Structure 1
Amino acid sequence: GTSTSSVNFPEVALPAHPGKHRLLHVYRDVPGVLSRINQVFADNHINIAAQYLQTREDLGYVVIDIDAAHSDTALAKLAGVAGTLRTRVLF
């Protein structure tokens, strides 16, 4: 999908990755958040196939394509990462 002309989010254009699952993670752009996000996937043995990151001022978002279906445990841990504003499964 594409996010353009959004007031609240930076623009990003994302290629399709058939067979992957896509998550959106919106966060406060502070040091260490991306490291903690990636660690959640590593701890749950979920491979990250692709990541798309954009930031604007103190807001960031990363769209993450993963190889495996998401787990409720991993999603709960993502939502609990310090600095998280929102986590959502896109497909």
Structure 2
Amino acid sequence: MFAYGLKRLVRGWGGFIALFLGVTIATTLFAGTILGAEKVGFEMLDEAMDLVPVDIITADLVRDVTAVDYSDLEADIGQLENVVNTEQVI
């Protein structure tokens, strides 16, 4: 099986190079499209989050969200004076 593939590669190296370059260019363009869309989405989200009024931002060093119950912290902050709303953003 590998012998046949190697034989075809040696005999038709021009076709192999053309196919390889075509696949490489297509993959690069596809990846660039995905990265561009992600960048646009990030910028839109960043601009939208700038319009949200935030007074307190808390962060936890424990990154395992299944091990930590954030609802207790949210309830404690919600009971403080002059707190209008609390929301978890993970």
* TM-score using structure 1 length: 0.32
Higher helix share: 2
Larger radius of gyration: 2
